[in-house]
Amino acid sequence: MAVFARWPCDFYMTFQYLSIENMQLFVTVADNSSISRAAEQLFIDASSVSRKISLIEEELSNQLFIRSNQGVALTDTGILFYNFCQETLKNLSELFEHLSVNPSLSQLKIGTYDSVSVGLYKDFFSENFSKLGAVKISNQIDNLIQSFNNNQLNTLIIDDEFSKFLTGNFYEKSLAKEAFYLVSHQKFANSFDSKNWKQLELFLNPKSCPIHQKLLALCPKENLPKIHEIEYTASALSFLVSSNQATILQSSLKKYASENFYFQKLPENFNRNLVILSRTLSDQELFLRKNNTQ
């Protein structure tokens, strides 16, 4: 969202990079005195954080941070801008809190994966399901994206890599970074690599599922395992009877697997970065506020 400023001489300036998201990013960097620590907290690459800070500085024609090997420190202008961002974000929060028409969960039409609704945000969905305007739980990412683009949904919680397929205006905010585990009766002595896949018989969500797509992208074709497409996690786990049979679970779903299984953490390039994408900032704030209270 662009920010417009009106100056005394009666002309308007448009700030392309002075968005609410970038204000939050700037404050996070300042609070941590470190780009890398802020990146970890925001679940994005340090290079992306550094690039956004540079774009803000370029747009404001002022240096906001002094950079060193020890981290970053605010300049005098940076302190002024930090105070401005804090005040602006506080005012926005109070605005949404005290709007004359108090937003309710009925305005939230949300879609996400089965693994999210029963894993990371189980409490939110189980306690508020009947209060929501609409809910779509699906492991088929194409289905979720189409529903959002057709305005049947106004909010998605999905992997950040799929936001590029959304149309129209929307707000994006990082939520969580989650690792994946290989679940099987077989214990791998060494760290798991692509050569290990070929020996497995894998029960996995259909190809439209993000983790299935990631496996196809990261594993060399000659090392791909035999894959059985199973829609539900419970079914996949129940079919694991032989030592070479396996499935893949997010860290938040490990608790649903029997203690008789071995859990092998997959390489970091399998990790997913979950984001919330909403048509309006109030929809996004509504989810965050309701989730934080549980």
pLDDT in tens, 22-77: 898 999 999 999 999 888 877 788 898 999 999 999 989 999 999 999 999 999 99
Over residues 220-232, the mean pLDDT reads: 86
Task: Tell me which amino acid residue 73 is.
Answer: A
Q: Which residue has the higher pLDDT, 234 or 157?
A: 157
Is there a contact between 202 and 246 (Cβ–Cβ < 8 Å)? yes
Give the CATH number of the domain where residue 152 resides. Answer: 3.40.190.10
* Residues 156 and 280 reside in one and the same domain: yes
User: Residue 173 is encoded by which pair of tokens?
Assistant: 């905010």
pLDDT at 83 over 80: yes
- Four-residue CA torsion sign, 20, 287, 175, 211: negative
3-state helix, strand, coil in the chain (%, to 5): 45, 25, 30
Q: What mean pLDDT comes out for the span 107-112?
A: 94
**Confidence grade of residue 8 (pLDDT, cut at 50, 70, 90):** very low
What residue numbers bound the domain in which 265 lies? 180-270
Q: Between residues 25 and 3, which one has the greater pLDDT?
A: 25
pLDDT of residue 10: 46
Q: How confident is the model at residue 156 (pLDDT cuts 50, 70, 90)?
A: very high
Q: Backbone phi, then psi, for 30, in 5-degree steps?
A: -65, -40
DSSP at 203: E
291: left (phi over 0), alpha (psi -120 to 50) or beta: alpha
In this structure, are 60 and 117 located in the same domain?
Answer: no
Tell whether 87 and 205 lie within a shared domain: no
Q: Are residues 79 and 220 in the same domain?
A: no
pLDDT tier for residue 269 given thresholds of 50, 70 and 90: confident
Q: CA-CA distances (angstroms) from residue 179 to 24, 26, 46, 51, 111? A: 25, 27, 19, 26, 21
SS3 of residue 273 by DSSP: strand
Average pLDDT over residues 195-199: 79
The amino acid present at 101, given as its one-letter code, is V
Would you state the pLDDT for residue 9?
Answer: 45
d(CA 7, CA 141): 45
pLDDT of amino acid 185: 81
Average pLDDT, the chain: 84
- Residue that is last in its domain, among 97, 128, 159: 97
Indicate which CATH number applies to the domain containing 57.
1.10.10.10
Q: Are residues 158 and 277 in the same domain?
A: yes
Of 12-26, 172-186, 222-236, the one with minimum mean pLDDT is 12-26
Give the pLDDT band (50/70/90) at residue 292: low
Q: What is the pLDDT of residue 73?
A: 95
Same domain, 62 and 172: no
Question: Do residues 82 and 198 share a domain?
Answer: no
User: What was the pLDDT predicted at 193?
Assistant: 66
* Residue 23 and residue 92 in one domain: yes
The pTM for the full model equals 0.64
170 shares its domain with 24:
no
**Which residue in 200, 204, 220 sits closest to 212, CA to CA?**
204
The last residue of one of the domains, among 97, 131, 152, is 97
Strands 134-137 and 109-112, bridge-based pairing: parallel
- Report the C-alpha gap between 178 and 265 in whole angstroms: 11
Q: How many domains does the chain have?
A: 3
Per-residue tokens: 104: 């309710």
Are 265 and 278 members of one domain? no
pLDDT at 103 over 90: no
Question: Does the pLDDT at position 247 exceed 80?
Answer: yes
Same domain, 133 and 258: no
275 pLDDT band (50/70/90 cuts)? Answer: very high
The answer to whether the beta carbons of residues 132 and 106 sit under 8 Å apart is yes
pLDDT at residue 7 greater than cutoff 60: no
pLDDT at site 97? 62
Nearest to 153, CA basis, from 279, 273, 285, 275 = 279
Pair 225, 264 in one domain? yes
d(C-alpha 154, C-alpha 134), whole Å:
9
Between residues 110 and 189, which one has the greater pLDDT?
Answer: 110
Q: Which residues contact 284 (CB under 8 A, 6 or more apart)?
A: 155, 171, 173, 276, 278
Check residues 129 and 15 and name the one with the higher pLDDT: 129
